[in-house]
Amino acid sequence: MDNLLVILRKPPYGVINAAEAVRHAGGAGGFDYKVILYLIDSGVYTAKKNQDAGNTGFTGLGESLELLSEEMEIYVNKDSLTEYNLKEEDLIEGVKIDSVGILKQSISAAQSIMIF
């Protein structure tokens, strides 16, 4: 089984990066990859519960992430949470907080890395 690391650095609304990161991570799981989805920078907003996309034309990804967390590991970067004024209780179920240890380990172990 190959390891795939998907890093999401962009917010869930305004650009398609978050939706594509979630789609690729979910799809790779179906092809026998061990997937880690890592949210950093403004990508941490993707794991915020009770999102309101407003008139952006984008769909909230929280429910999709909760479902994916049953199949893969999803991490949010601790420093990014602080930078974007989010706390652990603001996040959907199933995501884990990482300082950077998991990120470093995942980069070393991954056969493929996708950055969005």
Give the confidence band of 62 by pLDDT, cuts at 50, 70, 90: confident
In the chain, the percentage of residues whose pLDDT exceeds 90 is 72
What average pLDDT score do residues 51-75 get?
A: 83
Q: Which CATH superfamily is domain 3-115 in?
A: DsrEFH-like (3.40.1260.10)
Q: Rounded to an integer, what distance in angstroms lies between the CA atom of residue 84 and that of residue 30? A: 32
Pairing of the two strands 34-39 and 96-98: unpaired
Q: What is the pLDDT of residue 66?
A: 86
DSSP H helical ranges for 1-116: 17-29, 62-68, 78-83, 101-109
Residue 32 near residue 1 (C-beta atoms within 8 A) = yes
Sequence ranges of the domains in the chain: 3-115
pLDDT per residue over 69-102, tens digit each? 888 999 999 999 999 999 999 999 999 999 989 9
Q: Rounded to an integer, what distance in angstroms lies between the CA atom of residue 36 and that of residue 56? A: 28
Q: What is the DSSP letter of 114?
A: E
